[in-house]
Chains A and B, each alone.
Chain A
Amino acid sequence: MTRRPVLRIAPKQWADAWDGLKAISPLMVGSAIFGVAFGALVRDVGIDPWAGFFGTATVVAGASQIAIVEAIRAGAPAIVAILTAVLINARFALYSAALAPAWAGFPLRWRLALAYLMTDQAAVVAMKEADDPDPVRRRWFAMGAALPFVLVWFAGTAIGLILGPVIPDKWQVGFIVPLMFIAVLVPGLRKPAELVTIAVAAAVVLLGRTWPFALNVFFGIVAGMIAGASFEAWQEQRRAAPRPEQEEPA
Chain B
Amino acid sequence: MTVWLIFLFAALGTYLIRISGVVLLRDPEKIPAPIRRALRMVGPAAMGAIIVNALFLDHGEWRAFGAWHLAAVVAIGVALWRRSQGWSMLAGAVAFAALIASGL
Mark A residues whose CB is within 8 Å of B: 25-27, 29-30, 47-48, 51, 54-55, 58-61, 64-65, 68, 72, 78, 81-82, 85-86, 89-101, 103-104, 108, 111-112, 114-116, 118, 120, 123-124, 127, 170-172, 174-175, 177-189, 193-194, 197-199, 201-202, 204-206, 209-210, 214, 216-217, 220-222, 224-226, 228-229, 232-233
Contacts and interface: CB of A to CB of B under 8 A. Distances in A.
A102 to B, nearest CB: 9
A99 to B, nearest CB: 6
Interface of A is mostly: helix
Given A54-B4, A64-B10, A224-B45, A181 B50 contact: yes
B20 A59 contact: no
Interface in B63-86: 67-68, 71-72, 75-76, 79-80, 82-86
Contacts of A171: 100
Contacts, number: 277
Q: Give chain B's interface secondary structure class.
A: helix
A196 to B, nearest CB: 9
Contact of B96 (A94, A175, A199): A175
Interface of B: 2-11, 13-15, 17-23, 25, 28-29, 31, 34-57, 60-62, 67-68, 71-72, 75-76, 79-80, 82-86, 88-89, 92-93, 96, 100
Given A89-B13, A201-B49, A216-B53, A183 B23 contact: no
Given A89-B14, A100-B31, A111-B23, A201 B45 contact: yes
Most buried by A among B10, B93, B100: B10
Name which of B34, B38, B68, B71 has the most chain A CB atoms within 10 A of its CB.
Answer: B38
A68 B21 contact: no
